[in-house]
């Protein structure tokens, strides 16, 4: 239980681990919080801007005591100094061929040296943020090249979560059968067609050159040994309705095991290498919404109960985050939905 905080629960998706604390922006307001990974001590760090809003930021990177927030429904990128509490807004420009989206702007963000790469959700682009000079530009515009790989025109997101290994950024394509391999040093990219599926992909994880990806629809994981073809398919989960998108929110390696975390699900799936299969792991209640990884740690947050699970080699813990003042959690105004239950129902049904 969180120390010294009472009231309704917190939930989040925009978060990062720094100095034994998890920093996050609550799902329903514009306040930066943090809690201790050892004791669950919840702190209000600062209010980012005056107005409240739902799902304002999708991802966070913390470098040298500086928090970088990337917008989902917010207008700009935000830079926050944790020591001085100074807040700086940083605008970004799009290619002329794209219109500015009000909602669902970006999703995954990944650090490479002094730069951060951010995956577009509303647009098929990758942003590059140079933290040394606070400069933002479009690193890759993939729109035209991805057209021939597009299979699902109803899917709203272009990209969800990728990964960096070595000097490469791997980005799975939500709308079709492709994986983009981006060479970060020279700004070139190669699009690899994955002919064995029409699922689309939500997440990717590279492990010593071996690639793991989760399907965007249905309930499947794909694996390839150091190449971009001959993928092995694993069918996992009990709900494989092809109409339902994004059954998985992340794929990571924790405690030397590949773990697929469910999206809006009370469970995750752990790969049993000796048996060559995935096994379900129940998480003890709550609809898990998001995951973040730290130094050998996996942190999962529930959207409907405020429950937070911390798993990893160093420590394991469970919290229930509470705060004062929120009466109606989960308002999704951009979808014209009035309650958290309406929002969950809309996502689960997939209509």
**The pLDDT of residue 114:** 96
Give the three-state DSSP class for 342.
helix
Left if phi > 0, otherwise alpha if psi is -120 to 50, otherwise beta: which for 339? beta
Contacts of 64 (CB under 8 A, 6+ apart): none
Can you give the pTM of this predicted structure?
Answer: 0.87
CA–CA dist 212, 196 (Å, integer): 14
**The pLDDT of residue 289:** 75
For residue 156, what are its two tokens?
């709203």
CA–CA dist 139, 120 (Å, integer): 11
Radius of gyration of the chain (CA): 19
**The pLDDT of residue 332:** 31
Domain assignment of residue 332, yes or no: no
**The pLDDT of residue 339:** 41
CATH code, 152: 2.120.10.30
Domain assignment of residue 346, yes or no: no
Cα 293 to chain center, whole Å?
10
**The pLDDT of residue 238:** 58
Ranges of the chain with pLDDT below 70? 1-9, 51-52, 237-246, 285-286, 305, 313-315, 322-351
Q: How many residues are there in the chain?
A: 351
Domain assignment of residue 118, yes or no: no
Question: How many domains, in total, are found in the chain?
Answer: 1
**The pLDDT of residue 344:** 45
**The pLDDT of residue 239:** 53
CA–CA dist 105, 156 (Å, integer): 11
Domain assignment of residue 315, yes or no: no
Domain assignment of residue 218, yes or no: yes
Q: Determine the structural domain holding residue 164 and report its residue range.
A: 143-184+197-282
For residue 191, what are its two tokens?
């699009």
DSSP letter for 348, please.
H
**The pLDDT of residue 348:** 41
Asked if residues 213 and 173 have their Cβ atoms less than 8 Å apart, the reply is no
**The pLDDT of residue 251:** 92
Domain assignment of residue 271, yes or no: yes
**The pLDDT of residue 277:** 95
Domain assignment of residue 227, yes or no: yes
DSSP per-residue codes, 275-295: TTEEEEEE-SSS-EEEEEE-S
Pure H helices in the chain: 143-146, 340-349
Domain assignment of residue 124, yes or no: no
């Amino acid at each position: 239980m969180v120390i010294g905080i009472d009231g309704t629960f917190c939930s989040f998706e925009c978060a990062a681990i720094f100095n034994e604390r998890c920093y996050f922006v609550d799902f329903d307001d514009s306040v930066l919080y943090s809690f201790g990974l050892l004791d669950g001590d919840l702190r209000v760090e600062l209010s980012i801007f005056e107005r409240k809003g739902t799902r304002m930021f999708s991802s966070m990177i913390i470098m040298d005591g500086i928090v970088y927030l990337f917008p989902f429904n917010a207008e700009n990128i935000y830079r926050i100094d944790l020591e001085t509490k100074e807040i700086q807004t940083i605008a970004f420009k799009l290619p002329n061929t794209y219109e500015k989206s009000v909602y669902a702007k970006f999703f995954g963000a990944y650090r490479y040296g002094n730069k951060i790469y951010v995956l577009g959700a509303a647009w098929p682009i990758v942003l590059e943020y140079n933290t040394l000079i606070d400069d933002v530009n479009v690193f890759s515009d993939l729109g035209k090249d991805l057209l021939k790989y597009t299979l699902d025109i109803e899917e709203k997101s272009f990209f969800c979560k990728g990964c960096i290994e070595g000097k490469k950024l791997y980005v799975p394509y939500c709308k079709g059968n492709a994986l983009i391999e981006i060479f970060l040093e020279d700004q070139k990219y190669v699009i690899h067609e994955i002919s064995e599926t029409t699922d689309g992909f939500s997440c990717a994880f590279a492990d010593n050159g071996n690639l793991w990806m989760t399907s965007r629809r249905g309930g499947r994981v794909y694996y390839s040994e150091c190449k971009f073809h001959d993928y092995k398919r694993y069918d996992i989960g009990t709900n494989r309705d092809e109409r339902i998108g994004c059954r998985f929110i992340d794929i990571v390696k924790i405690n030397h095991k590949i773990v697929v975390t469910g999206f809006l699900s009370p469970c995750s799936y752990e790969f049993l290498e000796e048996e060559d299969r995935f096994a379900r792991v129940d998480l003890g209640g709550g609809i898990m919404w998001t995951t973040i990884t730290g130094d050998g740690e996996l942190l999962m947050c529930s959207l409907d109960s405020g429950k937070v699970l911390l798993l990893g080699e160093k420590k394991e813990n469970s919290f229930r985050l509470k705060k004062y003042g929120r009466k109606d959690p989960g308002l999704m105004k951009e979808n014209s939905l009035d309650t958290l239950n309406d929002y969950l129902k809309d996502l689960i049904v997939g209509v």
